[in-house]
């Protein structure tokens, strides 16, 4: 559960910090993903592609150093 405190009736600052926290937790990404139904085969394909992308990125970081 996310909790945001409002100080000095500064609601704009509280909303900004709420959006920042939700963005860090991946809330908006999850909402976009769930907007439309995704077939299980498409989900597996997407997750495999994301996994490969992460692996290539990690490998390029290792070879760079």
Tokens representing residue 41 in the block: 């085969």
Domain limits at 62?
37-65
Q: pLDDT tens-digit profile of 30-55? A: 999 899 999 999 999 999 999 999 99
Shared-domain flag, residues 48 and 63: yes
Shared-domain flag, residues 56 and 30: no
Shared-domain flag, residues 59 and 43: yes
Q: Read off φ and ψ for residue 51, nearest 5 degrees.
A: -65, -45
Question: For the whole model, what pTM was predicted?
Answer: 0.57
Tally the domains of the chain.
Answer: 2
Q: Note whether 4 and 17 are within 8 A (CB).
A: yes
Q: Does 18 have pLDDT greater than 80?
A: yes
Shared-domain flag, residues 41 and 59: yes
Shared-domain flag, residues 51 and 22: no
**Tokens 């405190």 found at:** 5
Q: 2, 44, 52: which is closest to 27 by C-alpha?
A: 2
Q: What are the start-end ranges of the H helices in 1-65?
A: 11-24, 27-34, 40-64
């Amino acid at each position: 559960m996310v909790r945001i405190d409002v100080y000095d009736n500064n609601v704009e600052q509280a909303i900004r910090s709420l959006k920042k926290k939700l963005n860090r937790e991946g809330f908006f990404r999850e909402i976009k993903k769930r907007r439309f139904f995704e077939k299980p085969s498409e989900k597996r394909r997407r997750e495999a592609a994301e996994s490969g992308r992460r692996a290539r990125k990690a490998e390029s970081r290792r070879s760079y150093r």
